[in-house]
Amino acid sequence: MVAPSLKLQDLIEEIRGAKTQAQEREVIQKECAHIRASFRDGDPLHRHRQLAKLLYVHMLGYPAHFGQMECLKLIASPRFTDKRVGYLGAMLLLDERQDAHLLITNSIKNDLSQGIQPVQGLALCTLSTMGSAEMCQDLATEVEKLLLQPSPYVRKKAILTAVHIIRKVPELSNIFLPSCAQLLHERHHGVLLGTITLITELCERSPAALRHFRKVVPQLVKILRTLVTTGYSTEHSISGVSDPFLQVQILRLLRILGRNHEESSEAMNDLLAQVATNTDTSRNAGNAVLFETVLTIMDIHSAAGLRVLAVNILGRFLLNSDKNIRYVALMSLLRLVQSDHSAVQRHRPTVVDCLKETDASLSRRALELSLALVNSSNVRAMTRELQAFLESCPIDLRADCASGILLAAERFAPTKRWHMDTILHVLITAGTYVRDDAVANLTQLIAGAQELHAYSVRRLYSALAEDISQQPLVQVAAWCIGEYGDLLLEGNCEETEPLQVEEEEVLALLEKVLQSHMSLPATRGYALTALMKLSTRLRGNNKRIRQVVSIYGSCLDVELQQRAVEYNTLFRKYDHMRAAILEKMPLVERGGPQVGEEAKESKEAAKLSEAAPVPTEPQASKLLDLLDLLDGPSEDAQHPLPLDPSPGGALVQLLDLPCAPPAPAPIPTLKVFEREGVQLNLSFIRPPGTPALLLITVTVTNSSGGDVTHFICQAAVPKVCKDQGLEVAWALQEKRPLSRRGGWERMRWKGMRQALGELWEEGLEPLGVEESSEPSQLPTSCVQSFQLQLQAPSGDTVPAWGGLPITQLFRILNPNKAPLRLKLRLTYNHFGQPVQEIFEVNNVPVETWQ
Amino acid sequence: MIKFFLMVNKQGQTRLSKYYEHVDINKRTLLETEVIKSCLSRSNEQCSFIEYKDFKLIYRQYAALFIVVGVNDTENEMAIYEFIHNFVEVLDEYFSRVVSLMIMFNLDKVHIILDEMVLNGCIVETNRARILAPLLILDKMSES
């Protein structure tokens, strides 16, 4: 080496002296080169210094992996300074994923058994930070021996190392169980703290340990009581509270032990009350203890008085000026709101005030809590506050706020008009942040509220006229104008100011939407369809509309182009059918008109399927949702991919489009079930490209006088066992409708055993099953002849008198072209009675499986 | 459980970093810059607890130095807040009126102190005398 190596201090000076990033990098690279050379030379005296520099450089973010082997050498050296830096290096540079880490296991073992306390401390520290599962297994016995050593310095470290070992290798927890009880008798706070952590970890991992440790609750109570009642002790008090860290840990352990357990909760009640009242709340330490107490009270089976005390404490926290305390109060109230709703309601005004905070953490918590507090009595006031918040809140909270308001409005809307107003307001203020299904919800809501058509179309028109940039708003408005354009032009509606709108203005607005570069392709699609519908609603001549439509016939966007071309054809060749096709969409109608020609139905279906805009998940059920608007099953255009341009067989012939692919021969629909007006139909499609695939659409219609609710359809296909030629079991499948609230539910496929168990219970005999005690294991030579996959149904309710039917899509893979057999099980409520039906479908048309 | 312990100055330079759960080295610098950005952007009157990805960050500012502790959901935030102050008091006693330069130049000693107080993400010792005892012995040994 040319120059003597720098000391760590000097290196730091140099790095600080570097003015630019590049200079700093230069300095560091030069130094790293020296360090590398020194490592190669193997200079033992200065090794620790080199490594220390390397660690500093590593902290700044530069690569330092070449120092790993040096760590090992340093750990093995007898000098303490070397060991110190070596272990530090090991902690910082090595971890489970490096291969070198196992090499230090031996060194750690030697150090642990040597008996020199600081060295043992170091070794334990390193083991607990980066010990992998193999290392832990090797060294667990050593650690356990150290648990019982007389010196508290080592003991406290050994205990926490034990915690780490348990986290890595849960099977080893039995080793540490017996020592715990003994360690609780310690007076040394460090050891106590560690023991409590260890017990907490054990209890969280295994319920058996939990039961075992319930016995120590009285002892814990005693310890805590001594802590709280002793006066000022210099050793452990922090701002007047004696050892708040220990108190907090004990409280947390008590919480875990007392959860769902009456006895332990009883034992704790007095103590908790005492802690809650005695703690000095003027300083943060006291507040920390109080907060933990409140959390504990909430989680265990505490007396009613105690819970009231807890809520009051939280209320006091909320009024505190310190932001930190308000934050924790809001968080705990959020947890409480599920169980003690009324108690939290009392603090509603304060919570709403917190919405106005500038602090992002606080306002987010306040928003969540406010949304949880909305109920039917305060919905109007709360929504007003939330809407005011929506206008001023930071961007990342907007999406949550918007969806929260919409959800609350849906659950508690006092009138439809208020609901519509609220949604409209949200769309105007935060349109870009609402969830994708808000558009669908709003359109359905408007369509369902007959009396509001005029009002809604007017308001949407004025909103649209002001601003065409918010996409969801534009989509809804375009749809509405298309549907109810005639109401818009009538000019009189008592609920808004009289608005005189000319036809030309409406058309101009829609054209503006079409041409604007801010509009998404989906929005343009909506606008084009709306224009088309207006051609029947408006009284003027359609020249302008025809012009626009023909212009878009050569648009570059395929979707728009196709629509435009089809509409054009509609004008030219099929003008006589135009009015019928573009009628108002039926939603829920009494004894709905069965549209005569299936071709027209499928044309509307095709239109609607194209009108399904932004692909939300799952596309299939949304598509079927829209298709449900037609009564009765429609055969064609049932292909689940909504972007499929070719609408289906009969339609193709109707429109005479030359480029349509050859349509598959339509398979007759099958009616499989009828009972008291509830009917189940199956319609089949075999896509031409995949001969093994069969798509079945199940449609449930209800022409009776009572609603059908909670409808669930389960299906099973046979699995054939090849060498015995027997059918071993039916694989049962089910899928529930997706619910919008609280995330998507997905039912996982039921395992064989469950499926079989259920079948046996219902009396569906699995054919020819062997008497094996393990029905869950299929003989390995079993060949699946069918694979069934269900998609989520469109809903679980069919309203009476021909209301919106439920549809569900089944996909069956039948590579062996075996005759199709299907067992269906239906459960639903009809006329207030639960109904369960099981039947097999075996008269499927031959075309489905050949 | 404490996930990491950082001391960063106002310009964003890390003065001390200790991770109790493995994070890749290139992700570390990213994490540190993001964390310090979110802490710096807050004013004095704002709350000291921030939510960041799946951690909670608890920070305290001492002159030009930010001490940031990242924890997971199970920890009591206010206890950690108190712990940060405890740590600074220990440093204060050891270095007799600590300034950030001292921390920089004696990084290894600060690491030792931190290791005495936190083991594997759990707080083990908070008593000042007991924390500093081994360190003082070490100093005496190296002098002699």
What does the alpha-carbon distance between residue A577 and residue A177 come to, in Å, rounded to a whole number? 83
Mean model confidence pLDDT for chain A: 72
The answer to whether residue A680 neighbours chain B at the CB level (below 8 Å) is no
Q: What is the average pLDDT across A27-32?
A: 84
pLDDT digits (tens, 9 = 90+) for A228-239: 777 656 667 776
pLDDT digits (tens, 9 = 90+) for A726-760: 444 454 555 554 443 333 323 333 344 444 444 44
Residue A640: how many other CB atoms lie within 10 Å = 19
Residue A835, φ and ψ in degrees, nearest 5: -125, 135
- Contact between residue A368 and residue A351 where contact means Cβ atoms under 8 Å apart: no
What does the alpha-carbon distance between residue A695 and residue A685 come to, in Å, rounded to a whole number? 5
Which pLDDT belongs to residue A764?
41
Residue in A88, A285, A295 nearest the CB of B111: A88
Which pLDDT belongs to residue B111?
86
Hey, are the CB atoms on B42 and A359 less than 8 Å from each other?
yes
Hey, are the CB atoms on A324 and B49 less than 8 Å from each other?
yes
Q: Which helix (H) or strand (E) holds A264?
A: helix A262-278
Q: What is the percent of chain A with per-residue pLDDT over 70, rounded to a whole number? A: 79
B21–chain A nearest CA distance, Å: 8
Q: How many degrees, rounded to 5, is the angle at CA A614 between CA A608 and CA A618?
A: 85
Chain A CB contacts of B38 under 8 Å are none
Which pLDDT belongs to residue A235?
67
What does the alpha-carbon distance between residue A700 and residue A44 come to, in Å, rounded to a whole number? 84
Hey, are the CB atoms on A238 and B119 less than 8 Å from each other?
no
Q: What are the residues facing B68 on neighbouring strands?
A: B6, B59
Residue A658 clears pLDDT 50, i.e. is over it: no
Residue in A59, A164, A324 nearest the CB of B78: A324
A731–chain B nearest CA distance, Å: 40
Chain A CB contacts of B127 under 8 Å are 189-190, 235-236
Hey, are the CB atoms on A245 and B79 less than 8 Å from each other?
yes
Mean model confidence pLDDT for chain B: 83
What does the alpha-carbon distance between residue B84 and residue A586 come to, in Å, rounded to a whole number? 65
Residue A712, φ and ψ in degrees, nearest 5: -130, 135
Place of tokens 């534009």: A474
Domains of chain B: 1-141 (3.30.450.60)
* Mutant choice from A136, A161, A197, A299 vs B, greatest count of B C-beta within 10 A: A197
What does the alpha-carbon distance between residue A438 and residue A475 come to, in Å, rounded to a whole number? 11
- Contact between residue A458 and residue A476 where contact means Cβ atoms under 8 Å apart: no
Residue in A161, A284, A361 nearest the CB of B49: A361
Tokens of A263: 């006895």
Burial A670-693 (b: 16+ CB within 10 A, else e): bebbeeebbbbbbbbbbeeeeeee
- Contact between residue A626 and residue A604 where contact means Cβ atoms under 8 Å apart: no
Q: What is the percent of chain A with per-residue pLDDT over 90, rounded to a whole number? A: 0
Hey, are the CB atoms on B81 and A328 less than 8 Å from each other?
no
- Contact between residue A87 and residue A102 where contact means Cβ atoms under 8 Å apart: no
Q: What share of chain A is helix, strand, coil (3-state, %, to 5)?
A: 60, 10, 30
Which pLDDT belongs to residue A398?
82
Using CA coordinates, name the residue in chain B closest to A195.
Answer: B124
DSSP state letters, chain B? -EEEEEEEETTS-EEEEEESS---HHHHHHHHHHHHHHHHTS-TTS-SEEEETTEEEEEEEETTEEEEEEE-TTS-HHHHHHHHHHHHHHHHHHHTS--HHHHHHTHHHHHHHHHHHEETTEE----HHHHHHHHHHHHHHHH-
Residue A168 CA neighbour count, 13 Å, CB half: 23
Residue in A61, A190, A361 nearest the CB of B50: A361
Hey, are the CB atoms on A194 and B17 less than 8 Å from each other?
no
Which pLDDT belongs to residue A726?
44
What does the alpha-carbon distance between residue A441 and residue A439 come to, in Å, rounded to a whole number? 5
Closest CA to A734 of A724, A744, A721, A749: A749
B105–chain A nearest CA distance, Å: 6
Between positions 650 and 679 of A, the ones with CB within 8 A of B are: none
Which pLDDT belongs to residue A37?
84
Q: What is the DSSP letter of A39?
A: H
Hey, are the CB atoms on A288 and B126 less than 8 Å from each other?
no
* Mutant choice from B6, B124, B138 vs A, greatest count of A C-beta within 10 A: B124
Q: What is the DSSP letter of A723?
A: T
Rg of chain A on CA atoms, in Å:
36
What does the alpha-carbon distance between residue A793 and residue A791 come to, in Å, rounded to a whole number? 6
Band (pLDDT 50/70/90 cuts) for residue A544 is confident
Residue A150 clears pLDDT 80, i.e. is over it: no
Hey, are the CB atoms on A118 and B119 less than 8 Å from each other?
no
B137–chain A nearest CA distance, Å: 10
Which pLDDT belongs to residue A588?
41
pLDDT digits (tens, 9 = 90+) for B70-126: 988 888 888 888 889 889 988 888 888 778 788 888 888 888 888 888 888 888 888
* Mutant choice from A55, A359, A364, A367 vs B, greatest count of B C-beta within 10 A: A359
- Contact between residue A180 and residue A195 where contact means Cβ atoms under 8 Å apart: yes
**C-alpha distances in Å from residue A672, one per residue of A666, A699, A735, A824, B46:** 18, 10, 20, 10, 66
Residue A840, φ and ψ in degrees, nearest 5: -110, 145
What does the alpha-carbon distance between residue A511 and residue A61 come to, in Å, rounded to a whole number? 57
Using CA coordinates, name the residue in chain A closest to B20.
Answer: A129
What does the alpha-carbon distance between residue A654 and residue A644 come to, in Å, rounded to a whole number? 18
- Contact between residue A201 and residue A210 where contact means Cβ atoms under 8 Å apart: no
Residue in A130, A160, A236 nearest the CB of B122: A160
What does the alpha-carbon distance between residue B89 and residue B98 come to, in Å, rounded to a whole number? 9
Residue in B86, B108, B120 nearest the CB of A160: B120
pLDDT digits (tens, 9 = 90+) for A551-585: 888 888 888 888 888 888 888 887 777 777 777 77
Closest CA to A813 of A638, A665, A667, A695: A695
CA A226 to the chain's CA centroid: 45
Chain A CB contacts of B141 under 8 Å are 80
Chain B CB contacts of A84 under 8 Å are 108, 112, 138
Using CA coordinates, name the residue in chain B closest to A153.
Answer: B130
A193–chain B nearest CA distance, Å: 6
Angle of helix A416-430 relative to helix A437-448, nearest 10 degrees?
150
Between positions 62 and 101 of A, the ones with CB within 8 A of B are: 63, 80-81, 84-85, 88, 95-97
Chain B CB contacts of A59 under 8 Å are 14, 16-17, 107
Chain B CB contacts of A359 under 8 Å are 42, 45-47
Which pLDDT belongs to residue A783?
52
* Mutant choice from B5, B115, B116 vs A, greatest count of A C-beta within 10 A: B115
Chain A CB contacts of B134 under 8 Å are 118, 121, 153
Is pLDDT larger for residue A649 or for residue A297? A297
- Contact between residue A442 and residue A473 where contact means Cβ atoms under 8 Å apart: no
Which pLDDT belongs to residue A645?
38
* Mutant choice from A168, A326, A361 vs B, greatest count of B C-beta within 10 A: A361
Residue A646 clears pLDDT 70, i.e. is over it: no
| Pairs of residues, one from chain A and one from chain B, whose beta carbons lie less than 8 Å apart | 142
What does the alpha-carbon distance between residue A455 and residue A487 come to, in Å, rounded to a whole number? 9
Place of tokens 């067989």: A649
- Contact between residue B20 and residue B120 where contact means Cβ atoms under 8 Å apart: yes
Residue A526 clears pLDDT 60, i.e. is over it: yes
Hey, are the CB atoms on A125 and B78 less than 8 Å from each other?
no
Hey, are the CB atoms on A288 and B79 less than 8 Å from each other?
yes
Tokens of A820: 């199709």
Edge-to-edge strand list for the sheet holding A806-813: A670-675, A678-685, A693-702, A806-813, A787-790
Which pLDDT belongs to residue A491?
61
Helix runs in A374-436, H state only: 379-392, 395-412, 416-430
Global confidence as pTM: 0.57
Residue A105 in 3-state DSSP? helix
Which pLDDT belongs to residue A400?
81
Band (pLDDT 50/70/90 cuts) for residue A530 is confident
Residue in A238, A323, A360 nearest the CB of B45: A323
Closest CA to A513 of A524, A521, A505: A524
Residue A245 clears pLDDT 80, i.e. is over it: yes
Q: Which helix (H) or strand (E) holds A811?
A: strand A806-813
Q: Which helix (H) or strand (E) holds A453?
A: helix A453-466
* Mutant choice from A84, A153, A245, A364 vs B, greatest count of B C-beta within 10 A: A245
Hey, are the CB atoms on B78 and A328 less than 8 Å from each other?
yes
Between strands A708-721 and A726-734, the pairing is antiparallel
Chain A CB contacts of B130 under 8 Å are 153, 190
User: One-letter amino acid identity for A476?
Assistant: V
**C-alpha distances in Å from residue A247, one per residue of A159, A279, A285:** 18, 11, 10
Band (pLDDT 50/70/90 cuts) for residue A639 is very low
Hey, are the CB atoms on A84 and B79 less than 8 Å from each other?
no
Burial environment of residue A778 by CB neighbours within 10 A (0 to 12, 13 to 18, 19 or more):
middle
User: One-letter amino acid identity for A281?
Assistant: T
Q: What is the percent of chain B with per-residue pLDDT over 90, rounded to a whole number? A: 1
CA A734 to the chain's CA centroid: 22
DSSP state letters, A764-790? -PPTT----S-TTS--TTEE---EEEE
Calculate the CA dihedral of residues A349, A352, A357, A359 and round it to 10 degrees.
120
Which pLDDT belongs to residue A615?
36
pLDDT digits (tens, 9 = 90+) for A374-416: 877 788 888 888 888 888 877 777 888 888 888 888 787 778 7
The answer to whether residue A770 neighbours chain B at the CB level (below 8 Å) is no
Using CA coordinates, name the residue in chain A closest to B79.
Answer: A288
